[in-house]
Structure formats: C-alpha cells, structure tokens
Amino acid sequence: MTSTEIGLIASVYLVGQIIGALVFGRLSDQLGRRRLLVMTLLLYLLGTGAAAFTTGHHTGWLVYFYATRLVAGMGIGGQYAAINSAIDEMMPSKYRGRVDIWINGSYWAGAILGSFASLVFLNAFAANLGWRLAFLMGPVLALVVLVVARTLPESPRWLLTHGRVQEAEEELAKIEEVARRSASHWPRSPRDAAITLVPEQRYGYLYFLRLVFRQYPKRAILGASLIITQSFLYNAIFFTYALVLTSFYGVSATKVPLYGLAFSVGNLAGPLLLAPLFDSMGRKKMISGTYLVSGVLLAVSAWLFEIRSEAIAVFFTIGTIFGAMGPAFYGALIGNGSSRTGLFIGYWSGRPS
C-alpha cells in the first residue's frame, strides 16, 4: 500500500467514529446507555474481526478493508457517546472531571496491551498471519467486555426521564446498597436538595447547534476550536507515526510497536497524574495549560525533525575539522624518521578506550 492509502485507513476509521457518535448518540437517548454499549461493542467486534479476513490485494479487497475499518469506527464512536453520557449522569459534579478523564484515558491501557500483542504477533509469526491475529484480538477482548457490560446498571436518570419509574427505583436501590456496604457513614440528603425530573423532549442536532451557538456563542466557539485543533493534529500525528518511523528513520515495521508502547504509556500517564488537577485547580486553567505545553512540545518536535539533516551536516563538519588536523599532527610526530617514540605515543593515545 502507498503512504496515502495507509493514511486513508485512519481517515476512514475516524469518519466511522463520526457516524457512530451521531447515530448511536441519538439512539442512546432513546434506547438506553447499557443497551447501546452492548450494540456498539458488537458492531466493533464485527468490523475488527472482518478486517482480518482481507485476503486479496486488488481494489475490491482494499475497499472491503476500508469498509471494515468504517464499521469498527462506528462502533467506537457509539461507545464514546454512550459511555460519556453514563459518566455525566452517574457521577457527582465534583468528581465528574477526573472520572471522565480516567475512563477515557483507560483507552491507552488497552493501547499498551495492543502494542505488546502486536510486537509478539509481528515477530513470532509470519507477516501475513501476524497482522490478522492482531486484528482478531479485538473481538476476543470485546467478548470479555460484553460479559462485564451485562452487570452494569442502567442510568436511573435516563429511566426516570423516559417514564420507567419502577426500573429507576430498582437501579437506585442497587446503587445505594453497594454504597451502604462500602461507606462507614451514610449521610441523608436534605429534602430541599431534591430535584424534579420530567420526561425529556427529543431535539435534533440542528436544533442543538442553533441553541448552543446562539445562546452560548463564546463557549461553543472555544469548545469547537479546541476539539477541532486537538483532533486534527493528534490524529494526524498518531495515525501516521508508523509511517514516519519506517520512512524517515529506517525503523523496522516489526519494531514499530515498541515506539507505540512508549507513546501509549505517556498518554496513559497523563490522565492518571493530571486528572485530579482538573477538579482541584479548575478545568479552564488545566485545559489552557495542557494545550499550551502540547503546542510547545509539538513545535520543538517539528524543529528537531526539520534540523535532522542540518545536525548531520554540522557534526560531520566538526568531525572533519578534527580529522583534517590529524594528518598534520601525525606527520609532525613522524618527523624525519629518526625516532619511533613520537608516533608510538600518537597511536597509543588515539586507540579506542
């Protein structure tokens, strides 16, 4: 495949995420968080598993492979919508920031496992088999998550706003029972802290966009700008990382997962270490700070990448300057050839340590 065709794999996958987020995000409000989590996991399982059975190299099979990545992306996009909706509804506001970052950051724990698995598959098996096994590992993990997902509670808020009061009371009772067993003290909320939940109206995406950009234009523009720049640059760099390593730095394709492993560890450490600061220091400061630091580091990386050839030239020049001094220096040690002592000392001092 050409570099453009390889880059298109990631673009198709991300387009699938967009479709999945929009379609299943709406269905999540209609069918429930838990049901959508299971449905989107099955969709991801289907797309990722089917990719392993790409058996040809002509255009038809390339289109087939792209289609499997589109389907897998739709599953991931739908999961993102369902999971974050559940977090927003189940977590108290003072903990919501760190929990949101931790849960979304756990993606990189999976990426670490994936990097290890890819390293094994690509080096222990033939190339034509190793990448297929790596893709088939996705469905295996998804099956494990499906078993776990069956034990998750449905959002009581979602049940109440959809008129399913009895089910909401049952889910709340389960949650409260777990809390009572784990807490030494169970404070009761005052009655004036109660809120009224009513069945929600269903709005379309166009209505939502008009509402947000008219009523909160500054926040909407800021949020859109942050997510657009972050998504464009991050995905562009992350999904072409392997191409850069193999094309510009001569890294073997079988060793690329090692670099992906380091990348994943850094991405996992960020949420684990910084998440509490988003609630303690404030989200505005932390968002601004992390974007600023990321921008500076990206600029430094670009500068280092650009000056690579210049650096080679500079160090070659430095080495050649001292190399040019060598013949004259050793010529002086040889002198008129009457004594070998000077040359002996020169050879001895120049030996590798």
Any domain includes 192: no
* CATH of residue 268: 1.20.1250.20
Q: Do 46 and 110 sit in the same domain of this protein?
A: yes
Any domain includes 160: no
Helix runs in the chain, H state only: 3-31, 33-51, 59-90, 93-105, 107-124, 127-149, 156-161, 165-182, 205-215, 217-238, 241-248, 256-280, 283-306, 308-334, 341-349
Q: For the chain, how many structural domains are there in total?
A: 2
Cβ 97 vs Cβ 279: under 8 Å: yes
Q: Which long-range contacts (CB under 8 A, 24 or more apart) does 184-188 make?
A: none
94-103, 143-152, 160-169, 279-288 — which is least confidently predicted?
143-152
Cβ 44 vs Cβ 138: under 8 Å: yes
Q: Do 75 and 12 sit in the same domain of this protein?
A: yes
Cβ 145 vs Cβ 41: under 8 Å: yes
Q: Do 264 and 332 sit in the same domain of this protein?
A: no
What local confidence, expressed as pLDDT, does residue 44 receive? 87
Contacts of 97 (CB under 8 A, 6+ apart): 275, 278, 279, 283
Cβ 198 vs Cβ 157: under 8 Å: no
What is the C-alpha to C-alpha distance for residues 134 and 66, in angstroms, rounded to an integer? 17
Q: Do 69 and 126 sit in the same domain of this protein?
A: yes
Mean pLDDT computed over every residue of the chain:
78
Q: Do 12 and 51 sit in the same domain of this protein?
A: yes
Q: What is the DSSP letter of 155?
A: P
Look up the domain containing 91 and give its range. 3-152+240-306
Q: Do 260 and 329 sit in the same domain of this protein?
A: no
Other CB atoms within 10 Å distance of the CB of residue 156: 22
Q: Do 244 and 328 sit in the same domain of this protein?
A: no
Any domain includes 25: yes
Q: Do 345 and 244 sit in the same domain of this protein?
A: no
Any domain includes 167: no
140-144, 272-276, 330-334 — most confident range: 272-276
Q: Do 282 and 338 sit in the same domain of this protein?
A: no
Any domain includes 7: yes
Q: Is the pTM of this model over 0.75?
A: no
Any domain includes 173: no
Other CB atoms within 10 Å distance of the CB of residue 109: 15
What is the C-alpha to C-alpha distance for residues 92 and 81, in angstroms, rounded to an integer? 19
Contacts of 58 (CB under 8 A, 6+ apart): none
Q: Do 246 and 340 sit in the same domain of this protein?
A: no
Any domain includes 99: yes
Q: Do 252 and 282 sit in the same domain of this protein?
A: yes
For the segment 282-294, the average pLDDT, to the nearest whole number, is 82
Any domain includes 195: no
Residue of 338, 326, 222, 236 whose CA lies nearest to 283: 222
DSSP secondary structure letters along 197-241 = --PPPP--HHHHHHHHHHHSHHHHHHHHHHHHHHHHHHHHHHTTH
For the segment 2-18, the average pLDDT, to the nearest whole number, is 86
Alpha-carbon 308 to chain mean position: 27
Q: What is the pLDDT of residues 62-112, one digit of tens each?
A: 999 999 999 999 988 888 777 777 777 777 777 777 787 788 778 788 888
How would you class 238 by CB atoms within 10 Å of its CB: exposed for 0-12, middle for 13-18, buried for 19 or more?
A: middle
Structure token digits, residue 50: 């089917």
Q: What is the pLDDT of residues 32-58, one digit of tens each?
A: 777 788 888 888 888 988 999 988 778
Alpha-carbon 50 to chain mean position: 22
Q: Do 335 and 300 sit in the same domain of this protein?
A: no
